[in-house]
Amino acid sequence: MAIVGHGPSQSTCEDCYGVQITPLSDRTAAPAVHIQITGRYAYQGVLFLVRNMATHKVVGEFFNFDENLFTSVACDDDEEPDFNEIDIDKYTVLGHIDPKLKEWPVHLDWMMTTDALNNSVTELELQGMVVVRHL
């Protein structure tokens, strides 16, 4: 079931957000990247996940983020059956804790997990949703 207020973008703001992804060279167990997201205006919340482009399955795990702002979230959406398979104890899908206004940038790290490595994932897509105060 979709949550009221979350849905396709209705934004008319072009170039409001920026994403910079850089490899982390100090991780040897699994490939990992640092992600920095910037925006023009304060935001209420975010939702981030990484998908395998071939299967559209959510893969990997986020780490090294501000635990006062973000936590693992589960999305129960009839249109996304693979969300029902997500382990809430892992940081596979990262979301905001509360709707208080927050400032940019957002810094977090993401790593490939063993299951994705074993399945030879080659193309990934970072997906995100920004929850803004609608005036």
pLDDT in tens, 57-111: 888 999 999 999 999 987 655 445 454 455 556 789 999 999 899 999 999 999 9
**Of residues 109, 1, 5, the one with CA closest to residue 48:** 109
Look up the pTM and report it. Answer: 0.79
CATH code at 114? 2.60.40.4060
Give me 18's structure tokens.
């920026």
Give the domain extent around 95: 17-131
pLDDT value of position 88:
53
Task: Tell me how far the alpha carbon of residue 88 is from its chain's centroid.
Answer: 14
What pLDDT, in 10s, does the model give residues 17-43?
899 999 997 766 788 999 999 998 899
Tell me if 30 is assigned to some domain.
yes
Q: Looking at the domain assignment, is residue 62 inside a domain?
A: yes
The Cα-based distances of 24 to 27, 64, 68, 129 in angstroms read 6, 12, 23, 24
Q: Rounded to an integer, what distance in angstroms lies between the CA atom of residue 82 and that of residue 106? A: 26
- If one counts the domains in the chain, the total is 1
pLDDT of residue 4: 43
Does any domain span residue 127?
Answer: yes
